[in-house]
């Protein structure tokens, strides 16, 4: 049974980009035309959330704003033009125009809500949009290739790419920055794991890229590592940048672009979602949901109630590859 909707509810709030995240009571507004109101069950903390809070993401909302890009929950009300049959549905959902997911309630476009099948619980449903779709779409770019390189390979998304690539018969050269991450990924079944802090890293990376024929790399760290990866790839290769965990500009040697026919592209999931057809989205989401307990499974390390959002952020920032940290309103 859907519970009554309160007049106010708790939300995480940012009053200044780069400033603290507070928890405040905010009005719960009814959904507008084409919108749904979702009672949030769980929302993960992702690297994109941290960049957004710092004001380093691709866009900014007017302040004060509620952060959070993805979540799961239950639709409790719908606006004009939306079927009332959606009320009560369990959904995975993404943020709305003004509202984010780090809250007890969120208004968002009804088309941003994806019904969850019975076999997926709300906790896992909260993590089945951003990382799984990105992993799926990045590997689609490697269709027909023998091998790819990826950085931040010990992240939740990196592990998804490893499992999905194994099923597709694509070898992955995985780049991490600590020895314990090398051990973790080898235990997962990854064949090629390199520690970027090793003195022989660049030499070994270049050898593997040429031996395996890796002409494509997925880069989410930026900084000097971007240049190291691009330089190690064979001529006429492509580096796809989809993150900036180092918070530094990509250091790209111009000679790689000018003389070796290499290129650097960007990937932003929001662009794809905006441009894709409903048929394309349904097709990919169906595949993600069917493999939710295998290729796209995410380990959860910690759960925090919403009032402890500051502690949750600090925990995640200090252990970003140790499993997901969830906010549970």
Q: Which CATH number does the domain housing residue 115 bear?
A: 3.90.180.10
pLDDT value at 320 more than 90: no
In this prediction, residues 30-40 reach a mean pLDDT of: 96
110 and 20 in a common domain = yes
191-208 pLDDT per residue, tens: 999 999 999 999 999 999
Domain shared by 40 and 56, yes or no = yes
Backbone angles phi, psi at 257, to 5 degrees: -85, -40
Task: Compute the average pLDDT of residues 32-58.
Answer: 95
- The more confident residue out of 323 and 216 is 216
What the block records as the tokens of 99 is 């509202």
pLDDT score at 321 = 84
Judge whether residue 3 has pLDDT over 80. no
**Which of 251, 270, 289 is the last residue before a domain boundary?**
270
Q: pLDDT band at 186, cuts 50/70/90?
A: very high
**pLDDT of res. 98:** 77
**How sure is the predictor about 2, in pLDDT bands with cuts at 50, 70 and 90?**
low
Residue 322 tokens, joined: 């140790």
Q: Which pLDDT score is estimated for 96?
A: 86
> Is the peptide bond preceding residue 160 cis, with omega within 30 degrees of 0?
no
Per-residue model confidence (pLDDT) at position 282 = 86
Asked if 196 and 181 touch (Cβ cutoff 8 Å), the reply is no
Write down the pLDDT at residue 182: 96
Cα 289 to chain centroid, rounded: 16
Q: Does residue 234 lie within any of the structural domains? A: yes
| Residue for token pair 């009320």 | 87
Give the Cα separation of 6 and 40 in Å (integer): 13
Provide the terminal-to-terminal Cα distance of the chain, rounded to the nearest Å.
18
CB-CB neighbours of 257 under 10 Å: 14
**188, exposed or middle or buried, with CB in 10 Å at 0-12, 13-18, 19+?**
middle
Q: Are residues 140 and 265 in the same domain?
A: yes
Q: Is residue 281 part of a domain?
A: no
Whether residues 81 and 121 fall in one domain: yes
Give yes or no for a contact between 107 and 66, defined as CB atoms under 8 angstroms apart.
no
Nearest 5°: the CA angle 114, 142, 218 is 80
Q: Is residue 235 part of a domain?
A: yes
Contact 325, 45 (CB under 8 A): yes
Tokens of 25: 């009571």
Q: Looking at the structure, tell me whether residues 239 and 192 fall in a common domain.
A: yes
What domain range includes position 117?
A: 8-127+298-328
Pair 68, 326: CB distance under 8 Å: no
258 and 138 both lie in a single domain: yes
Within a domain: 286:
no
Q: How many domains does the chain have?
A: 2
Q: For residue 281, what pLDDT is reported?
A: 87
pLDDT digits (tens, 9 = 90+) for 247-298: 899 999 999 999 999 999 999 999 998 888 888 888 999 999 999 989 999 9
Q: Give yes or no: residues 221 and 195 share one domain.
A: yes
Residue 168 domain-assigned (yes or no): yes
Query: Both 118 and 144 in a single domain?
Result: no
Let me know if residue 278 belongs to a domain. no
Average pLDDT along the chain:
95
Q: For every residue of the chain, which 3-state class applies, written as one string? A: CCCCCCCEEEEEEECCCCCCEEEEEEECCCCCCCEEEEEEEEEECCHHHHHHHCCCCCCCCCCCECCCCEEEEEEEEECCCCCHHHCCCEEEEECCCCCCCCECEEEEEHHHEEECCCCCCHHHHCCCCHHHHHHHHHHHCCCCCCEEEECCCCCHHHHHHHHHHHHHCCEEEEEECCHHHHHHHHHHCCCEEEECCCCCHHHHHHHHHHHHCEEEEEECCCCHHHHHHHHHCCCCCEEEECCCCCCCCCCCCHHHHHCCCCEEEECCHHHHHHHCCHHHHHHHHHHHHHCCCCCCCCCEEEEEEHHHHHHHHHHHHHCCCCCEEEEEC
304 pLDDT exceeds 80?
A: yes
Residue 277 lies in a domain: no
Residue 157 in this model has a pLDDT that exceeds 90:
yes
What is the reported pTM?
A: 0.93
Instruction: Note whether residue 44 is domain-resident.
Output: yes
Verify that 136 and 111 share a domain, yes or no. no
d(CA 215, CA 237): 4
Q: Per-residue pLDDT tens for 204-254?
A: 999 999 999 999 999 999 999 999 999 999 999 999 999 999 989 999 999
- Chain position carrying tokens 């003004």: 98
CATH of the domain at 221: 3.40.50.720
The answer to whether residues 122 and 221 belong to one domain is no
Residue 256 and residue 143 share a domain: yes
Beta-sheet pairing, 21-27 with 8-14: antiparallel
The reported pLDDT for the residue numbered 1 is 59
In tens, the pLDDT along 87-96 reads 999 999 999 8
- pLDDT at position 274, please? 85
What's the mean pLDDT in 141-159?
96
Residues 135 and 261 reside in one and the same domain: yes
For residue 90, what are its two tokens?
A: 């369990």
């Amino acid at each position: 049974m859907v519970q009554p909707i309160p007049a106010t509810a708790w939300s995480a709030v940012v009053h200044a980009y780069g400033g603290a995240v507070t928890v405040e009571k905010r009005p719960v507004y009814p959904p507008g035309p084409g919108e749904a109101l979702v009672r949030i069950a769980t929302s993960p903390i992702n690297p994109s959330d941290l960049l957004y809070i710092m004001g380093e993401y691709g866009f900014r909302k007017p302040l004060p704003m509620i952060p959070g890009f993805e979540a799961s929950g239950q639709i409790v009300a719908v606006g004009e033009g939306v079927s009332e049959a959606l009320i009560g549905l369990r959904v995975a959902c993404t943020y709305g125009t003004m509202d984010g997911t780090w809250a007890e309630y969120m208004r968002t476009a009804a088309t941003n809500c994806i019904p969850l099948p019975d076999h997926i619980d709300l906790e896992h449903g909260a993590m089945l949009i951003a990382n799984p779709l990105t992993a799926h779409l990045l590997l689609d770019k490697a269709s027909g290739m023998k091998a790819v390189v990826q950085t931040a390979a010990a992240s939740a998304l990196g592990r998804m790419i490893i499992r999905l690539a194994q099923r597709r018969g694509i070898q992955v050269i995985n780049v991490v920055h600590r020895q314990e991450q090398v051990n973790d990924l080898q235990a997962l079944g990854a064949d090629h794991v390199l520690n970027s802090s090793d003195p022989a890293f660049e030499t070994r990376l270049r050898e593997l890229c040429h031996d395996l024929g890796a002409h494509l790399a997925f880069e989410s760290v930026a900084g000097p590592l971007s240049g190291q990866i691009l330089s190690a790839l064979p001529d006429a290769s492509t580096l796809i940048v989809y993150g900036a965990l180092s918070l530094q500009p990509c250091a790209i040697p111009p000679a790689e672009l000018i003389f070796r026919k290499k290129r650097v592209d960007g990937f932003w999931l929001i662009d794809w979602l905006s441009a894709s057809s409903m048929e394309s989205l349904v097709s990919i989401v169906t595949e993600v949901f069917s493999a939710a307990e295998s290729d796209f499974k995410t380990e959860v390390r910690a759960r925090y109630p919403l009032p402890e959002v500051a502690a949750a952020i600090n925990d995640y920032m200090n252990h970003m590859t140790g499993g997901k940290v969830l906010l549970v309103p």
